[in-house]
Structure 1
Amino acid sequence: MFFHIAGVTVNPIVVIIWMAFVGFVFSSIGAAGGILAGVGHITIFGMKKANVIKPMNQILTVVSPIMSSPLYLKEKRLVVPAAISLGIGGIVGALLGSWLSHTYLKEMTSYQWFFGIITFVIAARLWYEMTPGFREKQQKVKKATKVFEDKVKELKASGKLNEIKEIGVNFTEMGIKNTFTFAGETFKYNTLAPFLAGVIVAIISAALGVGGGFLLVPFLSSVLGFPMFIVAGTSGLSIIISSLTSISNYLRMGSQLDLPLVGFELIGVLVGSYLGPILSKYIKGVYLKGFLAVVLTYIGIGYVFGPIIQHATGIRII
């Protein structure tokens, strides 16, 4: 099937299958969905228009957080003030990042090289998360998570699951300095930190045309020390704000969306996002991260060094 705006001929079944994989990874790990969507557009589908790829990537990255944010908010597993700070910073960063990328990364060669560099960064982060040193730093996070899981099981067994809010996010101090409790643990952060992080992350993610979860998740969990049970919802809400800002700015500057292709992609993402939480129960997280780290490392090598290797040896990497 030929997709006019994307400028490619590709079987819709291939589109759905790849995007189902993207949705599965994103819903299981919480990051790299936009990167894998970009890989699909660039390599699997063969798109050559960088400024069409970017907003189409980002449309796919907002599907999951739009669906999940209301649930996180209902269960008080979302740090709303932190998400708003990230989002406000994200608006500034998204406007700047999309303008810079639309202007200076409009050629596929330069965009693909930059995309490969960031792919390396994500792969390195995944390799790091599998080290013993990283797991040792997560003891406080694991403690809060364990308390939350045990309480959920207790409330579920007693038929009082609606009382989950009592152990959710509850603020005791709000302003420049913020303090809240979650699952019996106290957490503190300065409002300026997520704002500045939102600006920086949105510049990079808007320039690439991705959601930014690969940077927001480690920032919230490692820098601010938030438990993973509240990281997904908090980062997701801010991604909605920054991604919609970026998409709107790309369209304002003349980028177009191939809506028929997006339609098939959304089918795949929704299927993968549904299957992710179900199938990931049977796959150890470290194995899934390891597999993804290998794939992203290979992709990074192909995008950054592929042309050089092909010129020197005649071997095409990707």
Structure 2
Amino acid sequence: MPVVTLITLAGFVLASYGLCFGEANISAAKYKAGDEVTIKGKIAPGQDLYIAVAQSKMFHGKLTEFNGQKSMGNFERKKLPKKGKKAGFTLDTEIPPLFYMLTTNRDAFGKDTKRKFGGPSFMKKMLGGGLYNTSMFKLKKKWDDVGAKEMMGPIKTAEQWNMYKFAHEKKYGINTIVKEGNKKGKVVIFARSVLGDASTGNYWDKGTSIKLNKEDGTFTASFKTFRHTPPNTGFDVYVNGEKSGSYVVEKNGFWLAKGYRYMNPLWVTIGAIAVGTYFSMIGAAGGMLMGAFQALVVQTAGPIGINAANVLRPSNIALTLFSPLGSFYRFAVVEKRVAWPVGISFGAGIFIGSIWLGTYVTQYVSMKAYKEYLGILVVLMGIKTLMEMTPAAMNKRKNIKAMTQKFNAAVKKAKETGGAVEMGSIEPVKSGITDYRFKFWGEEFRINPLLFAVLGIIVGIVSRAFGIGGGFLLVPMMTTIAALPMYVAVPISLIGTCFSSVGSFIGYVMNGYMPDLVLAGAIIIGGFVGGMLGSRAQKMFSEMTLKVILACTLFFLFFRFMKIEYWI
């Protein structure tokens, strides 16, 4: 009898022990990216619920390949150890890139906190953190303070917790490891980590449902998988510390392998056509606008272990190179309005700055520190561009005033006859290293090619640092410093951006970074077509209108550089 009693008691204890951890059923073995996952089961009565959903494959900083793609490029290998040392983890520390904790006891892992973001650095200091206000779930700083360590599934050490915190709360960690972010407007605040029921009202809990009956321990929890979960990604599910099952997230759309996003390439091509048309009309901001399109629409992220910027920027170069090529036939051959000596000297300087000096400067000097100064320069250029259109300024630049009058007369004639507007062409007058003169529509203009070669070096360094063509600096320089009309400045700028694009692309390739081939192909096609359209469309606008468009573009870039972009 005592033996039977002991066996019964032991069975009861074991059953209770198992129930304390929990049992669960997952609604399906396979899902498509973006689908809802539902988990039902039972835990010990009176217990809180902890469901850890962890990507099966772990990431650490010494990997050279992840999910069939190159991981940890040259820049990441230099940067991640420094950031890891500061955050409290090493390159050997490994975590699942995607990890979610669905729980009724969020306080065990952190708390809801207010978060300020956006705005330039001086404004952040004045406002105590940023221009805009929001909230986020902030993980506990120390592993020892976590109240439910045993419920974290594959995350078992302080180093793993530190890396998990870094990957979900730091911009570099999100863009390099997690690739998923909670956004306010279009700005990523942090990555999904600890989730509660949607009834909390938190924006990061939207779409999550957690129902627990503490009296009998039954529960039902559901959440939406990340829309851009890579194809065939496996996940393990742990309920109250015990592994309870697994599932696989399958492909849901056209997958960009290096872009790490689902996106129909046709939409990328359409976007590139629009940006390429705009770019070839004003000769500026092609890379910046394509970058904005990639970040906001395509959401280019890059493979695990590669920072998003190191895939996005090489892809941008496809537009800043091929959009000018699409416009050159009309600008150079048909209308003959390319000042080649200036364009080549400008381009040579840019090439030197982007491929040679730019590599060294960006390696030892953080260009981010100068981004706001660049923003101030850009807005001053925008103001100067608008001031050039005042009657007083036009009277000082009689050649541009006369050229504008001739253009208006040509437009009027075209309307009367029903024909196309005939553009003026460049007629060289004098060639020299420091003195190049030409006539455009009968009006003489003068420029110093050597000066613009030096300026080109500076622009090349900037373009290398930010992965852009540099046209937003080139065109204002030519219209303000050299007093050239937009119809001449734009073709020269496009030559310069071609050189800077080639230099920047070589720089990225030398460091082991390649764009997503499908993404780049779509941008090349769209950019080339846009270049052809923009070169035709430019003469539909007057000098004044083109300068207004340029100024508006510069003001837009000012907001981008100053991070006053919540509304974008």
Give the shorter-chain TM-score range: 0.7 to 0.9
SS of residue matched to 1:180: strand
SS of residue matched to 2:513: coil
Aligned mates of 1:122, 1:21 — CA distance in 2 = 23
Task: Pick closer, same or farther for the CA change 1:216–1:258 going to 2, 3 Å.
Answer: same
Letter in 2 for 1:52: V
1:224 is aligned to 2:482: yes
Aligned mates of 1:52, 1:239 — CA distance in 2 = 19
Task: Identify the match of residue 432 of structure 2 among 174, 182, 186.
Answer: 174
Residue 310 of structure 1 corresponds to which residue in structure 2? none
Task: Identify the match of residue 464 of structure 2 among 173, 191, 206.
Answer: 206
SS of residue matched to 2:344: helix
CA RMSD between the two structures: 4.0
Letter in 2 for 1:66: L
Aligned mates of 1:205, 1:153 — CA distance in 2 = 40
Q: Is the 8 A contact 1:168 1:181 kept in 2?
A: yes
Task: Pick closer, same or farther for the CA change 1:296–1:141 going to 2, 3 Å.
Answer: same
Residue 277 of structure 2 corresponds to which residue in structure 1? 24
Task: Pick closer, same or farther for the CA change 1:117–1:260 going to 2, 3 Å.
Answer: farther
Q: CA deviation at 1:153?
A: 8.2
Residue 130 of structure 1 corresponds to which residue in structure 2? 386
- 1:217-238 CA distances to partner (integer Å, 9 max, x unpaired)? 1111211122222111122122
Residue 560 of structure 2 corresponds to which residue in structure 1? 299
Residue 309 of structure 1 corresponds to which residue in structure 2? none
Q: CA deviation at 1:185?
A: 2.2
Q: CA deviation at 1:262?
A: 1.3
Letter in 1 for 2:484: F
Task: Pick closer, same or farther for the CA change 1:51–1:114 going to 2, 3 Å.
Answer: farther
Task: Identify the match of residue 91 of structure 1 among 344, 351, 366.
Answer: 351
Q: Is the 8 A contact 2:326 2:532 kept in 1?
A: no
- 1:17-47 CA distances to partner (integer Å, 9 max, x unpaired)? 4333322321333211110111223333142
Q: CA deviation at 1:297?
A: 4.6
Q: CA deviation at 1:282?
A: 8.6
Tell which deviates more after alignment, 78-87 or 167-176: 167-176
Q: Is the 8 A contact 2:433 2:450 kept in 1?
A: no
Aligned mates of 1:287, 1:86 — CA distance in 2 = 24
In structure 1, stretches of 5+ residues that fail to align are 307-315
Letter in 2 for 1:142: K
Task: Pick closer, same or farther for the CA change 1:285–1:63 going to 2, 3 Å.
Answer: same
SS of residue matched to 1:256: coil
Aligned mates of 1:226, 1:290 — CA distance in 2 = 15
Q: Is the 8 A contact 2:346 2:452 kept in 1?
A: yes
Q: CA deviation at 1:258?
A: 0.8
% identical equivalent positions:
29
Aligned mates of 1:21, 1:148 — CA distance in 2 = 26
Aligned mates of 1:119, 1:10 — CA distance in 2 = 31
Which entry has the higher C-alpha Rg, 1 or 2?
Answer: 2
In structure 2, stretches of 5+ residues that fail to align are 1-253, 302-306
Residue 58 of structure 1 corresponds to which residue in structure 2? 317
Aligned mates of 1:249, 1:76 — CA distance in 2 = 32
Aligned mates of 1:97, 1:53 — CA distance in 2 = 22
Aligned mates of 2:538, 2:434 — CA distance in 1 = 41
Letter in 2 for 1:242: S
- 1:256-311 CA distances to partner (integer Å, 9 max, x unpaired)? 12110112223443454455555995996577557646654543443xx67xxxxx
Aligned mates of 1:188, 1:98 — CA distance in 2 = 29
Higher strand share: 2
TM-score, length basis structure 2:
0.45
Letter in 2 for 1:260: V
Aligned mates of 2:330, 2:532 — CA distance in 1 = 15
Aligned mates of 1:229, 1:220 — CA distance in 2 = 11
Task: Identify the match of residue 79 of structure 1 among 310, 319, 339.
Answer: 339
Aligned mates of 2:414, 2:273 — CA distance in 1 = 33
Higher relative contact order (CA 8 A, sep 6+): 1
Task: Pick closer, same or farther for the CA change 1:146–1:229 going to 2, 3 Å.
Answer: farther
Residue 504 of structure 2 corresponds to which residue in structure 1? 246
Q: Is the 8 A contact 2:345 2:452 kept in 1?
A: yes
Q: CA deviation at 1:91?
A: 1.8
Q: Is the 8 A contact 2:326 2:530 kept in 1?
A: no
SS of residue matched to 1:19: helix
Higher helix share: 1
- 1:107-126 CA distances to partner (integer Å, 9 max, x unpaired)? xxx78786676566545534
Q: Is the 8 A contact 1:54 1:209 kept in 2?
A: yes
Task: Pick closer, same or farther for the CA change 1:189–1:125 going to 2, 3 Å.
Answer: closer
Residue 255 of structure 1 corresponds to which residue in structure 2? 513
1:187 is aligned to 2:445: yes
Residue 400 of structure 2 corresponds to which residue in structure 1? 141
Q: How many residues align?
A: 301
Residue 67 of structure 2 corresponds to which residue in structure 1? none
SS of residue matched to 2:520: helix
Aligned mates of 1:288, 1:179 — CA distance in 2 = 27
Q: Is the 8 A contact 1:65 1:236 kept in 2?
A: yes
Task: Pick closer, same or farther for the CA change 1:28–1:279 going to 2, 3 Å.
Answer: closer
